[in-house]
Chain A
Amino acid sequence: MEFQIQTRTDGPIAIAALSGRVDAANSRQLRRQFERCLKTTNRFVFDCQALDFIDSSGLGAVVTCLRKALATAGDIRLAGVAPKVKLVFELTQAEKLFTFFSDADQALASFADQHA
């Protein structure tokens, strides 16, 4: 997973590209990288277009990140989540916590709308 900071007129937004699997093996890494970025910005887009699979530890990590972002009035928006990954979100009711966009650009744009 790669975290990139994009500078915008209304403040930086971090984009994390999640690919392959997010599970017990790498969920801790996800949280660590997230916390590092949290120093710069509290607005995140997780680009999940290349994400194949997420299990409960992966979901747990993503939800923990969301809570941390919300605590500072920020947000994590999800982009390009594949239907079979969305199934896991729906099953665990985690989908209620997030807003889903079809791609990263739309997710980024949604942050701008907020400030308008």
Chain B
Amino acid sequence: MKTLLVIKANTFDWLQAVFPDRSPLLASVCNKPLLEYLLDFAILCGSRHFRLATDMPLAKVEAVFGGGGRWGIELTYAPIRKTDDLATALQKNSRYCAGSRLLVMQGCFFLHYDKQKNYGPFMQTTAPGELLTCATGRILIHDATPLKTAPSPDGSPPPLALTSLRSIGELYRLSMRVLGRDARQYVLPGYNNETDVYIGRNVMIARSARIEPPVMIGDHVQIHKNAIVGPGAVIGRNVIIDAYSRIHHSVILDKTYVGEHLVLDRKLAGGRRLVDPGEETMVQLEDAHLLSTMRPSSRGRNRLQRLGHGLLAALLWVVLAMPYALLSFILKRQGRWRRSEAAYWVDSSGRSVRLTRVFLNPSGFCGRIAASLALDRYPLLGRVMRGDLALIGTRRLPATAANRAVIEADAGYRPGLFSYAEAEHWPVPEYDQDIVDRFHLAHQTLIYDFVMMVKVLLNKLHEETALCKSISK
């Protein structure tokens, strides 16, 4: 039997609205991704093949789940489009679905099952069609070839139920329920020597801190002096609970810092956001010492890159100073040079800066030289040296709310003086440019950027000569 999981982004809108920078596919209940519960269940049913078909970005999920080797299964991935329905998703995976019984799980839900029960025989003999539904999803059985004899399930079906997931509140209550009541039904991460206490790896608990079951603590967690964690606490990975704080009946998501002398009772916290699951209210805190996100330490690499870009920018600044001074003067006189200012987003944290834009008319001898040397970008070299812009990166986006949403959703924004797409020859309307920029951003290193910069400058030179040729024809 094979398993196909069809999940669309819109079923997780409620989660994205509150935590836009967390991948919905990795949303967890008791520190175990929802996806992994489904994987475990599929294995209990005797399925050794599992395919995830989704319109959501798969990179993070693939990084965590890989090819399924950890569970001894074959896990594959298929992209589908936002508008695809189940029939289309099946058609797009027709080769996978052919030739065996198929367990289809569609939507966003939590599956209640018991790891000690055997679901195999039931799944093999139950009639095809819809098995279970809830408001936000369902599971069904498809048969490639109809069974020869009418199936007769033996005995009563093993325990199985679906719960819809439509709000943070429901996710929270589920976590509390699994922790408090149903933990034994699932394989949960962490060392479980004491009942109702699950502790991950690399966990530091101060001697004066107290842990009261039931409690779940993920990997790489620090609990500082006199803190009280539990009862009813689910702490994610990479979390710091600072001194004297108390966490009761609450969920702390991955990568969160909880400051000193704080109390979280019946709450859910992730990064800077604090949610009351009962009232469904949310506040985003601005005090890092209260609640904030733990950022991964790729700071070192970024600093080196910014330094590299800054140095090259400084070099260009020096080399092009004379041509700039001369040509900008001449072109201003000729009316072919116009400056204006506008605000642009600088990174994904909502910081914007005002950048000078130069409109250069590349006609006439001086105009062409200025364009081929990209002198219209010269005023912004200072920004690169300051570290606000990269020398080469993705397209700069003006500071509007719509663009802010795009940046938050993408997490691949590194505005540059030049964009990677300018190193390519083929004509690029805006959308295509973004695709190319993302490709190069994903593969970039400092050396790569230098090489691309050379390509851009050569391209500009080539463009101008090509333009000259076409004009003179």
Interface residues of A (CB under 8 A from B): 23, 53, 55-56, 83-85, 87-88, 90-93
Answer whether residue B282 sits at the interface, using C-beta atoms and an 8 A cutoff: yes
The reply to whether B287 and A56 form a contact with Cβ atoms under 8 Å apart is yes
| In the complex with contacts A83-B281, A87-B274, A87-B281, A93-B289 CB distance below 8 A | no
- Contacts A93-B261, A93-B262 supplied; 6 other A-B pairs, CB < 8 Å: A23-B286, A87-B282, A88-B283, A91-B262, A91-B264, A91-B290
| In the complex with contacts A56-B290, A83-B276, A83-B279, A88-B285 CB distance below 8 A | yes
Interface string of B257-290 (1 = CB under 8 A from A): 0000111110100000010100101110111011
Residues of chain B within 8 A (CB-CB) of A87 are: 267, 274, 276, 281-283
How many angstroms from the CA of A83 to the CA of B282 in the assembled complex? Answer: 8
Answer whether residue B291 sits at the interface, using C-beta atoms and an 8 A cutoff: yes
How many angstroms from the CA of A55 to the CA of B287 in the assembled complex? Answer: 7
The reply to whether B265 and A90 form a contact with Cβ atoms under 8 Å apart is yes
Smallest distance from the beta carbon of A57 to chain B beta carbons, Å?
Answer: 8
How many angstroms from the CA of A88 to the CA of B262 in the assembled complex? Answer: 10
Residue of B nearest to A96 (CB): B263
The reply to whether A55 and B261 form a contact with Cβ atoms under 8 Å apart is no
Residues of chain A within 8 A (CB-CB) of B282 are: 84, 87
Complex interface residues of chain B between 214 and 268 (CB less than 8 A to chain A): 261-265, 267
The reply to whether B263 and A84 form a contact with Cβ atoms under 8 Å apart is no
Question: Could you write out 14 A-B pairs with CB less than 8 Å apart?
Answer: A56-B289, A56-B290, A83-B276, A83-B279, A87-B267, A87-B281, A87-B283, A88-B283, A90-B263, A90-B265, A91-B274, A91-B285, A92-B261, A93-B261
How many angstroms from the CA of A6 to the CA of B57 in the assembled complex? Answer: 59
The reply to whether B283 and A85 form a contact with Cβ atoms under 8 Å apart is yes
The reply to whether A84 and B283 form a contact with Cβ atoms under 8 Å apart is yes
Residue of B nearest to A82 (CB): B281
The reply to whether B263 and A55 form a contact with Cβ atoms under 8 Å apart is no
Residues of chain A within 8 A (CB-CB) of B263 are: 90-93
Residues of chain A within 8 A (CB-CB) of B290 are: 56, 91-92
> How many contacting A-B pairs (Cβ < 8 A)?
42
8 Å CB contact of A55 from B262, B265, B279, B286: B286
How many angstroms from the CA of A87 to the CA of B261 in the assembled complex? Answer: 15
Residues of chain A within 8 A (CB-CB) of B291 are: 91
Complex interface residues of chain B between 96 and 112 (CB less than 8 A to chain A): none
Residue of B nearest to A91 (CB): B262
Residues of chain B within 8 A (CB-CB) of A53 are: 283
How many angstroms from the CA of A87 to the CA of B250 in the assembled complex? Answer: 14
Residues of chain B within 8 A (CB-CB) of A93 are: 261-263
How many angstroms from the CA of A56 to the CA of B289 in the assembled complex? Answer: 9
Interface string of B415-448 (1 = CB under 8 A from A): 0000000000000000000000000000000000
How many angstroms from the CA of A115 to the CA of B264 in the assembled complex? Answer: 36
How many angstroms from the CA of A23 to the CA of B286 in the assembled complex? Answer: 10
Residues of chain A within 8 A (CB-CB) of B264 are: 91
Residue of B nearest to A87 (CB): B283
Residues of chain A within 8 A (CB-CB) of B285 are: 55, 88, 91
Residues of chain A within 8 A (CB-CB) of B286 are: 23, 55
Complex interface residues of chain B between 45 and 73 (CB less than 8 A to chain A): none
Residues of chain B within 8 A (CB-CB) of A92 are: 261-263, 290
Residue of A nearest to B264 (CB): A91
Complex interface residues of chain B between 123 and 156 (CB less than 8 A to chain A): none
Residue of A nearest to B279 (CB): A83
Smallest distance from the beta carbon of B261 to chain A beta carbons, Å?
Answer: 7
Residue of B nearest to A52 (CB): B283
Residues of chain B within 8 A (CB-CB) of A91 are: 262-264, 267, 274, 285, 290-291
How many angstroms from the CA of A53 to the CA of B263 in the assembled complex? Answer: 19
Smallest distance from the beta carbon of B281 to chain A beta carbons, Å?
Answer: 4
Residues of chain B within 8 A (CB-CB) of A90 are: 263, 265, 267
Smallest distance from the beta carbon of A43 to chain B beta carbons, Å?
Answer: 28
Smallest distance from the beta carbon of B172 to chain A beta carbons, Å?
Answer: 14
Smallest distance from the beta carbon of A40 to chain B beta carbons, Å?
Answer: 33
Residue of A nearest to B276 (CB): A87
The reply to whether A84 and B281 form a contact with Cβ atoms under 8 Å apart is yes
How many angstroms from the CA of A23 to the CA of B287 in the assembled complex? Answer: 10
Residues of chain B within 8 A (CB-CB) of A55 are: 285-287
How many angstroms from the CA of A87 to the CA of B281 in the assembled complex? Answer: 8
Residues of chain B within 8 A (CB-CB) of A56 are: 287, 289-290
How many angstroms from the CA of A76 to the CA of B263 in the assembled complex? Answer: 23
Interface string of B278-307 (1 = CB under 8 A from A): 010111011101110000000000000000
How many angstroms from the CA of A85 to the CA of B289 in the assembled complex? Answer: 17
Pairs of residues from A and B, 4 with the lowest C-beta to C-beta distance, nearest first? A83-B281, A84-B283, A56-B287, A84-B281
Residues of chain B within 8 A (CB-CB) of A84 are: 281-283
